[in-house]
A = this chain, B = another copy of it.
Amino acid sequence: MGLPLLANKKQSADKHQKIIEAAIAVFAGNGFFNSTVADVAREADVADGTIYLYFKNKDDLLISIFEYSMDLFIQEAEAALKSSSDPKEKLREFISLHLKLVQKYPDLAQVIQIELRQSTKFMKEYPNEKFFQYLDIVSGIIGDGQESGVFKKNLDPVILKRVIFGAVDEIALEWTLMKRKRYTMAEAADQVCGMIFEGICQ
């Protein structure tokens, strides 16, 4: 009696996951608004109605993708950042990781970067905690660096975290949309780190 329940729970989790993954693929391919719930259902190989057993509505599906992916990103980031204690190395690691993740999960990245922003409703109303949590990894590193004297103290971490995220994310976005890749992610990471650390002036 316990086992079947467990089995069901697992099956249930599997189906939830299956739908999430289907939604990521579908939304990345066609855009959130141009995709139908039926498209997602077909991709996930479930009935339309089944989606509503796992998600409140279509918007909830998008939000769930976001939370799922931010959890994934945060988890991977925290794991990766343990290896080093030097703020500079940590920041390099973070930038490199973000770009790697975009490369590893291109559909996911596209949904996050493009489709999510589309929903003004989402951007304005949804308490975007997970994203701030992700961003705060950056401001944490900056704060540590400023304390230990590695980074300049006159730079405002609130602004800086956005500047760094924006720079890295724009590169990631371009890379996602580019058909013929003109540079590797490793090259891009080097360039971005170079610029952020030392600036562009001679």
The interface of chain A, by Cβ under 8 A from chain B, is: 28-34, 88, 110, 113-115, 117-121, 123-124, 142, 145, 149-152, 154-156, 158-160, 162-171, 173-174, 177, 182-183, 187-188, 191-192, 194-202
Contact = CB atoms under 8 A, between A and B. Distances in A.
A112 to B, nearest CB: 12
As for how many copies of this chain the complex holds, the number is 4
B191 A156 contact: yes
A195 B159 CA distance: 10
For chain A, what secondary structure do more than half of its interface residues adopt (helix, strand, loop), or is it mixed?
A: helix
Contacts of A152: 194, 198, 200-202
A190 to B, nearest CB: 9
Contact of A124 (B167, B170, B177): B177
A115 B114 contact: no
